[in-house]
Amino acid sequence: MNPSKEADIAHPAADAAAGSVVSQPGQKHALGRTPLETELVKSDKKGESRIRRWNVGDVKITSVMESADRIPWAPLFPAETSEHYKKYDWLVPRFITPEGQIILAVQAFVVATGGRRIVIDTCVGNDKLRELEHCSNLQTAFLEDLTAAGFPPEAIDTVLCTHLHFDHVGWNTRWVNGRWIPTFPKARYLFGRREWDYCQALLRDQVGDVRHILDSVQPILDSGLADLVESNHRLTDEIWLEPTHGHTPGHVSVHIASQGQEAVITGDVFHNPIQFAEPEICSIGCVDKEMSRKTRREFLSRYEKKAARVFAVHFNDPVGWIVPDTCNWRFFPD
């Protein structure tokens, strides 16, 4: 496709009506599973509309939360671990309900420094058909909240995806006049080169559900706004990537250092603080579980004892510290 042309990728509602899967024009991508067969109706979900702010030295970080759902323990985590949370009273009720439901947040962090406005991870997005019903065809006020926080889409100069799972790329695009177009028209979108190679293999081999790649990643490349970067890419003197592979082959976290203060935006190294106490617990989305466990333990060891503030994308209370505990570590909210 012409890299300067906005992507002409079909809207999921049209594809659902036709009984087909969203695809790039001229290509077919079997998902390897049955697409959602539920009737497409407008969700009444309005999301969280939660905005919070922190400073790390001279760097300002704003969280815009799209959602915070209470979901069953399994299949996100292995069913055999579903009683483990009862050993850690500090998890309830802030991160896990008394009944054992996980409170799973989805949020974007906006990093502002020296005139730069960087969005890190772009949540699920609206109007998109997804494999998980509670994430499908959302209708949240995320863009309005982002604007209310002081960051209208046209003010963003960089979008960085820690990895390319559907809940980290969704607002890369939005549905306008019959096509998926970039949500942030003046931004460069940074995708990990290693991560994109992995996604290309999924497309080539027709493995798994690739709808999010086709409606939220491919249109950015087709529009000429994407830059493929290495896992240690430096965005500014204060902000750089560090490899945290395992959850996906090209997964990265974002390190921030300013005025003697340090912070790390985790991406999906963690989905819930129970993984501080039990790093062996992997989410269903971890591609390489052994590597994921190793990465998690190394991360916890590296940043314990307040070596860096942790900004965790999926935590209901997202910012805090890694504190050694009688059983490995615990998360101490800021």
Specify if 2 maps to a domain. Answer: no
Distance CA(64)–CA(218), nearest Å, equals: 24
Residue 26 has pLDDT above 60, yes or no: no
DSSP alpha helix (H) spans, 158-287: 193-205, 211-216, 218-222, 274-277
Query: What was the pLDDT predicted at 13?
Result: 42
Specify if 272 maps to a domain. Answer: yes
Query: What was the pLDDT predicted at 206?
Result: 86
- 188-192 and 158-160 strand pairing: parallel
**What are the C-alpha distances in Å from 232 to residues 171, 215, 243, 245?**
24, 27, 6, 12
Which H helix or E strand runs over 143? Answer: helix 142-148
Specify if 37 maps to a domain. Answer: no
The pLDDT-based confidence of 200 (bands split at 50, 70, 90) is very high
The pLDDT-based confidence of 321 (bands split at 50, 70, 90) is very high
Between 35-39, 60-64, 119-123, 305-309, the lowest mean confidence (pLDDT) is in 35-39
271: which DSSP letter?
S
Which H helix or E strand runs over 16? Answer: helix 12-18
Between 5-14, 71-80, 158-167, 275-284, the lowest mean confidence (pLDDT) is in 5-14
Distance CA(104)–CA(72), nearest Å, equals: 10
Share above pLDDT 70 across residues of the chain, in percent, rounded to a whole number? 86
Specify if 71 maps to a domain. Answer: yes
Q: Which residue type sits at 24?
A: Q
Stated pTM of the model: 0.87
The residue written with tokens 């939660």 in the block is 50
CATH number (domain holding residue 180): 3.60.15.10
Phi/psi region, residue 178 (left: phi>0; alpha: psi -120 to 50; beta: rest), is: left
- 261-265 and 309-311 strand pairing: parallel
Q: What single string gives the DSSP state of each residue in 12-64?
A: HHHHHHHT-----TT-----SSPPP-S-----------EEEEEEETTEEEEEE
- Per the DSSP assignment, residues forming a β-bridge with 311 are 265, 319
Specify if 31 maps to a domain. Answer: no
What does R_g of the chain's alpha carbons equal in angstroms? 19
> What is the domain count for the chain?
1
- Per the model's pLDDT, the better-predicted residue between 24 and 55 turns out to be 55
Specify if 232 maps to a domain. Answer: yes
Of 311, 307, 312, the closest CA to residue 283 belongs to 312
Specify if 3 maps to a domain. Answer: no
Query: What was the pLDDT predicted at 134?
Result: 87
Query: What was the pLDDT predicted at 49?
Result: 77
Distance CA(119)–CA(110), nearest Å, equals: 4
Query: What was the pLDDT predicted at 45?
Result: 56
Q: 144: Cβ–Cβ under 8 A, 6 or more apart, which residues?
A: none
The pLDDT-based confidence of 22 (bands split at 50, 70, 90) is very low
Specify if 151 maps to a domain. Answer: yes
Query: What was the pLDDT predicted at 226?
Result: 98
Share above pLDDT 90 across residues of the chain, in percent, rounded to a whole number? 82
Tell me the residue range of the domain where 83 lies.
Answer: 12-21+42-333
Joined together, the tokens standing for residue 147 give 């604007």
107: which DSSP letter?
E
**What are the C-alpha distances in Å from 148 to residues 279, 320, 334?**
37, 25, 24
- Per the DSSP assignment, residues forming a β-bridge with 192 are 229
Joined together, the tokens standing for residue 13 give 């509602």
Query: What was the pLDDT predicted at 143?
Result: 96
Query: What was the pLDDT predicted at 2?
Result: 31
Query: What was the pLDDT predicted at 3?
Result: 30
Between 42-51, 109-118, 322-331, the lowest mean confidence (pLDDT) is in 42-51
- Region 303-323: mean pLDDT is 97
Query: What was the pLDDT predicted at 131?
Result: 87
